[in-house]
Amino acid sequence: MLDIRFICDNPELVKENIKKKFRDSKLGLVDEIIELYNQKCAANNRANELRANRNKISKQIGMLMAQGKRDEAEEIKRLVTEQAEELKALEIKEDELAKKVLEIQMKIPNIVDSSVPIGKDDSENVEVTQYGEKTVPDFEIPYHTDIMAAFNGIDKEAAGKVAGEGFYYLMGDIARLHSAVLAYARDFMIDKGFTYCIPPYMIRSNVVTGVMSFEEMDAMMYKIEGEDLYLIGTSEHSMIGKFIDTITPEEKLPLTLTSYSPCFRKEKGAHGIEERGIYRIHQFEKQEMIVICKPEESMEWFNKMWSYSVELFRSMDIPVRTLECCTGDLADLKVKSYDIEAWSPKQQKYFEVCSCSNLGDAQARRLGIRVKDAEGKKYLAHTLNNTVVAPPRMLIAFLENNLSFDGAKYTISIPKALQPYMGGKEKIESK
């Protein structure tokens, strides 16, 4: 969310940014919010004038009454009553205008970093670097749920009866592998100096609107009927919300946390081969990382965070690449974003497994996350987030890249980094 004064002082820059994001339907919001803000300021100035007059006039009434000038005092009392009614109307108008300004303010996209490539949608995202050799197996790799079924590791049919489409039971070695990946990712981030956290899995509406755009909220979030609570779509939401209305001494920055949580998503509009199986589901588990830091350090942390994901995936023998999101593929609050994509030997292409984002001070402004420097000056922090791992989607890449077939059975090799979390097993075999 942009500062209203910034919008008023830089309307053309804000409009140009909207054009870069190909959101021309939002161009009119800039002039509208400036007009509403000017009206709010005018109402505020007049209200302040009336408040000052009220104090001055009250003293006059006392003097006139003391001098026996009752008629003059009564006339001034009538004026006070009129101005009190005007002040009440102005205060209501101020409140209404402030709400309208904030509503539009939250719809205007954040200013993207100058390094972000211009593009209309995700088809114009730009590959940055590839890590690891893309495998081309000498046998046909089954679909990921068929791999799991070969190990008696999944039951979608029973889950469909219990919860409907988009849910699953994981079992046996596959379920253990799922938990092992999460445990390894947790310890990996702790070793990077991040503090481990398990957050609330539900958040209030003011936190939801503080961390994401209205469009994202409608497409993702499940609301608890009859309560001001939403199920989280990622632990980043409640982790950033942890710092709502706080002032952190500058010397305590950066705040680096890694969190585990289940996640719940509507996944509207899912379709195609990547949307079947367990690629897009309504419930999954995730290890996340967030950073709250000084503005001048946010890009440095951005580069550290996506590199951690690359390192983690390579330690599990999964080839990955980094993909920079173009302007049209950035959510409204984001300044810059990289997707980390894993190689799928089955599809012979990459698919998204992590998303690293720098949100500048947008979330901090919405949630009141401030920092106090040594001189006592307060300013807004920058917030960043990145997926560490999100099985079971990440599990798809793991299974495909560590699978072998001898003509009779399938074997999944367990990389050294993961073996301590699998009871020392070096491989698991199909049943």
- What the chain holds in terms of domains, given with CATH numbers, is 4-105 (1.10.287.40), 122-429 (3.30.930.10)
Tens-digit pLDDT profile for residues 156-200: 999 999 998 889 999 999 999 999 999 999 999 999 999 999 999
Q: Check residue 276 and give its pLDDT.
A: 63
Q: Check residue 271 and give its pLDDT.
A: 44
Instruction: Sort strands 255-264 and 195-197 into parallel, antiparallel or unpaired.
Output: parallel
Assign 268 a pLDDT band (cuts: 50, 70, 90). low
Question: In 354-363, which positions are buried (b, 16+ CB within 10 angstroms) versus exposed (e)?
Answer: bbbbbbbbbb
Assign 67 a pLDDT band (cuts: 50, 70, 90). low
Dihedral of the alpha carbons of 169, 174, 176, 179, in degrees to the nearest 10: -70
Tens-digit pLDDT profile for residues 215-264: 777 778 899 999 999 999 999 999 999 999 999 999 999 999 999 999 99
Assign 429 a pLDDT band (cuts: 50, 70, 90). very high
Distance from C-alpha of 46 to C-alpha of 52, rounded to nearest angstrom: 10
Average pLDDT over residues 66-72: 68
356 Cβ contact list (under 8 Å, min separation 6): 302, 305, 306, 309, 337, 338, 339, 340, 384, 385, 386, 387
- Are 393 and 353 contacting, i.e. CB atoms less than 8 angstroms apart? yes
Q: Check residue 316 and give its pLDDT.
A: 96
Q: Check residue 380 and give its pLDDT.
A: 98
Question: Looking at the predicted structure, is the pLDDT value of residue 72 above 50?
Answer: yes
Tens-digit pLDDT profile for residues 382-427: 999 999 999 888 999 999 999 999 999 999 999 999 999 999 999 9
Tens-digit pLDDT profile for residues 108-158: 999 999 999 999 999 999 999 999 999 888 899 999 999 999 999 999 999
Assign 70 a pLDDT band (cuts: 50, 70, 90). low
Distance from C-alpha of 381 to C-alpha of 248, rounded to nearest angstrom: 9
Q: Check residue 273 and give its pLDDT.
A: 40
Tens-digit pLDDT profile for residues 273-313: 445 678 778 999 999 999 999 999 999 999 999 999 999 99
Distance from C-alpha of 28 to C-alpha of 277, rounded to nearest angstrom: 42
Average pLDDT over residues 328-332: 95
Angstrom CA distances, 236 to 361, 388, 428, stand at: 15, 11, 33
Average pLDDT over residues 345-356: 95
Phi, psi of 424 (to 5 degrees): 85, 0
Average pLDDT over residues 197-222: 89
Question: In 129-161, which positions are buried (b, 16+ CB within 10 angstroms) versus exposed (e)?
Answer: eebbeebeeeeebbebbebbbbbebbbbeebee
- Are 132 and 343 contacting, i.e. CB atoms less than 8 angstroms apart? yes
- Are 322 and 136 contacting, i.e. CB atoms less than 8 angstroms apart? no
Question: Looking at the predicted structure, is the pLDDT value of residue 65 above 80?
Answer: no
Average pLDDT over residues 209-216: 83
Phi, psi of 265 (to 5 degrees): -140, 145
Q: How many CB atoms are closer than 10 A to CB 266? A: 15
